Amino acid sequence: MTDERTGLWLVGARGSVATTVATGLALITAGGAGPDGLVTEQPDLAAAGLVPLDHLVVGGHDVTDVPLVKRAAQLADAGVIPHTALALVADELDRTCRRIRHGHRDAEERQVDAVERLAADIRAFAETESLSRVVVVNVSSTEPVVTDDPAHASLDVLEQAWGAGESPLPPSAVYAAAAFTAGAAFIDFTPSTGARLPALEELAERHGVPWGGSDGKTGETLVKSVLAPMFAARSLRVRSWAGTNLLGGGDGATLADPDAMESKARSKARGLEAMLGHPVDGPVHIDNIADLGDWKTAWDHLTFSGFLGTRMSMQFTWQGCDSSLAAPLVIDLARLADLALRRGEVGPLPALGFFFKDPVGSDEHRLFEQHRVLTAWANEPATEQATAS
């Protein structure tokens, strides 16, 4: 492995997930924590020659100005990160904070100008920090489901709309466009639109960069992606699968908006029928409980029938810390997208479906099959990758 360094540019860089990412990387590099939760530290992926953790440099965009040290202290008070970490990582968090640039708000500027400004920030980050590559990961708040616009259909029409001063893209897609324009890979860890528009797929092709997503699989859906294949393999017919999610913090506040909640609920529901092989009554409810902060609880109740139609049921409860579950996956995705950049891959990265509820370029939702695909892809010889791309 060379001494090349890779930039991890976070959209929503002052949020809980991003702060946990920056704190975790700094703490691991300082020898104050181990790699628990990092899939890319497993032997079958670590052998793929991924960028070392201490060669990742964090920066990003955000529309708020809360110092990362203050945000980390709040997370420590909530039990998300250890209080003992703060003294060890304060200087590195300050350095990271100085790399964060002002993000995008629709009303502040023309969209085409925003794309160029955000892309310039990413290029300047790469130049100032002497980075070989940059991976942009969106960990900002969930957007409502996007309304179709003719400018989404092709890059030519999008550029004509921009030339006319129009703003047809949702914010997540503006960030994706900026990443591609800057020659960076883009990963959407949220259920927002991101790069999933034909016009932006063309833009990624034009600039020769890879992208992936969507919606990190950290909790309830992670469990579903293990349990649902079990029922299918045993020919036990699932008849209903209802879920209730309770969460607080910024994510809970965002999802209190019915439009944003609809985006999340659609993402969570997409894989279940694919894994079971038949339609199922599967409502998902998401409730904001401010007191829970960064912690979330999911309760699921499912009914199924077995031999001679005998009815049975199962319930499970998942309780976890959202940022602690998401942060290592963001780091994993940065290392893997960097691998794709080094290999010259262009376009969607279906092998990253292991990490997502609604994987780009793949209809596979079974966790262990996704892990097999991911491992095989990561360890492909460079000659095969060059041929494939």
Closest to 273 (Cα-Cα) out of 363, 145, 368, 372 = 363
Binning pLDDT at 50, 70 and 90, where does residue 381 land? confident
CB 149 within 8 A of CB 20: no
SS3 386: helix
H/E element holding 147? Answer: none
Task: Reply yes or no on whether the pLDDT at 385 is more than 50.
Answer: no
Which residues face 187 on adjacent strands? 137, 212
Task: Reply yes or no on whether the pLDDT at 285 is more than 90.
Answer: no
| pLDDT tens, residue by residue, 233-279 | 999 999 999 999 998 876 666 655 666 556 556 655 668 888 999 99
pLDDT (average), residues 24-48: 93
In the chain, the percentage of residues whose pLDDT exceeds 90 is: 79
Measured CA to CA, the distance from residue 175 to residue 235 in angstroms comes to: 44
pLDDT at 386 (0 to 100): 44
pLDDT at 374 (0 to 100): 98
Binning pLDDT at 50, 70 and 90, where does residue 387 land? very low
| pLDDT tens, residue by residue, 325-367 | 999 999 999 999 999 999 999 999 999 999 999 999 999 999 9
Tell me if the pTM is above 0.75.
Answer: yes
CB 23 within 8 A of CB 29: no
Cis geometry, peptide bond prior to residue 214 (ω within 30 degrees of 0): yes
Residue in the block written with tokens 């670590």:
46
Tokens found for residue 181: 């324009």
Measured CA to CA, the distance from residue 4 to residue 382 in angstroms comes to: 18
Tokens found for residue 70: 């203050």
SS3 329: helix
Task: Reply yes or no on whether the pLDDT at 105 is more than 90.
Answer: no
Closest to 378 (Cα-Cα) out of 3, 36, 44, 135 = 44
DSSP state of 234: T
Residue in the block written with tokens 């995705």:
333
pLDDT at 270 (0 to 100): 67
Tokens found for residue 119: 């892309």
pLDDT at 106 (0 to 100): 80
H/E element holding 352? Answer: none
Calculate the CA 77 to chain-centre distance: 25
Burial class (CB in 10 A: 0-12, 13-18, 19+), 315: exposed
| pLDDT tens, residue by residue, 176-222 | 999 999 999 999 999 999 999 999 999 999 999 999 999 999 989 99
pLDDT at 249 (0 to 100): 72
| pLDDT tens, residue by residue, 124-173 | 999 999 999 999 999 999 898 888 999 999 999 999 999 999 999 999 99
Measured CA to CA, the distance from residue 378 to residue 382 in angstroms comes to: 10
Give whole-number Cα distances, 260 to 42, 168, 255, 282, in Å. 35, 18, 5, 19
pLDDT at 284 (0 to 100): 85
Binning pLDDT at 50, 70 and 90, where does residue 98 land? very high
**Phi, psi dihedral angles at 104 (to 5 degrees):** -110, 130
pLDDT at 383 (0 to 100): 47
Bridge pairing between strands 295-305 and 237-247: antiparallel
pLDDT at 326 (0 to 100): 96
Task: Reply yes or no on whether the pLDDT at 86 is more than 60.
Answer: yes
Task: Reply yes or no on whether the pLDDT at 44 is more than 90.
Answer: yes
pLDDT at 293 (0 to 100): 85
Measured CA to CA, the distance from residue 294 to residue 365 in angstroms comes to: 26
pLDDT at 282 (0 to 100): 84
Give 44-62 as a DSSP string.
HHHTT-PPPGGGEEEEEEE
255 Cβ neighbours under 8 A, 6+ residues apart: 142, 247, 261, 264, 286, 288
Binning pLDDT at 50, 70 and 90, where does residue 388 land? very low
Bridge pairing between strands 284-288 and 100-102: unpaired
269 Cβ neighbours under 8 A, 6+ residues apart: 282, 284
333 Cβ neighbours under 8 A, 6+ residues apart: 135, 137, 187, 189, 212, 352, 355
| pLDDT tens, residue by residue, 107-118 | 789 999 999 999
| pLDDT tens, residue by residue, 51-72 | 999 999 999 999 999 999 999 9
DSSP state of 8: E
Measured CA to CA, the distance from residue 151 to residue 124 in angstroms comes to: 29
Residue in the block written with tokens 């040290």:
69
Give whole-number Cα distances, 10 to 28, 142, 203, 292, 373, in Å. 19, 15, 20, 25, 26
